[in-house]
Amino acid sequence: MMKFFYAPGTCALASHIALEDVDATYEAVRLNFSAGEQLKPEFLAINSKGRVPALVTAQGILTETPAILAYIAQTHPQAGLAPTDPFAFAEVQAFNAYICATVHVAHAHKMRGNRWVDESSSIEDMKRKVPETLGAAFDLIENGMLRDDWVMGDTYTICDPYLFMASRWLDSDGVPADRHPRVRAHMARMAQRPAVQAAMAQQVVN
């Protein structure tokens, strides 16, 4: 059985949803970040980065959301969460790489500025820039990357839980609610899916 390590309020939500989407057999292990459980030797032996998600499989341990999403889709092909055509799958990976490398980084500047700079004034500058940078990243999603009801068009894929997870940052990061109506509609569709509801029920912060 796979073992999935997550913490509420993190990007692990995307992989959690995908596991529910494919009806995977897995054990969910919640980490308490406030208590520093991600930095304890027991977890660092699983993921030396001290971050989630982490997925323990029979073949080894996977980290990083795009890799975990691809693995879930490809090991559960009956769920149809990723195309088999190489070019179409590359498009899926390109979207998820954008969320990982651009959208997530823009969001992280609000709370994790000390990863990049030391001066408090620089950290504050980074925080002030977040509504602009995150908003601009979502402008591209709103105006082309989100093709239809689902990211890739009329077919639900592993891009959709990842976009849903990232879209939840918009309000808290100060991006106006009326700026991205198509993204907001996507969020509403996602919220109605049983897999999303099941994953989020496990992610409720106690």
Q: What is the pLDDT of residue 141?
A: 98
Q: Where are the domains of the chain?
A: 2-79+196-203, 86-193
**Cα angle, residue 55 at apex, residues 110 and 198 outer, rounded to 5°:** 75
Q: Give the phi and the psi of residue 63 in degrees, each rounded to 5.
A: -130, 170
Q: What is the pLDDT of residue 113?
A: 65
Alpha-carbon Rg for the chain, nearest whole angstrom, is: 17
pLDDT above 90: residue 53: yes
The CATH number assigned to the domain with range 2-79+196-203 reads 3.40.30.10
Instruction: Region of 23 please: left (phi>0), alpha (psi -120 to 50) or beta.
Output: left
| pTM check: above 0.85 | yes
Tell me the residue length of the chain.
206
The CATH number assigned to the domain with range 86-193 reads 1.20.1050.10
Question: Are the beta carbons of 28 and 203 closer than 8 angstroms?
Answer: no
Q: What is the pLDDT of residue 204?
A: 76
pLDDT above 70: residue 205: no
Q: What is the pLDDT of residue 206?
A: 56
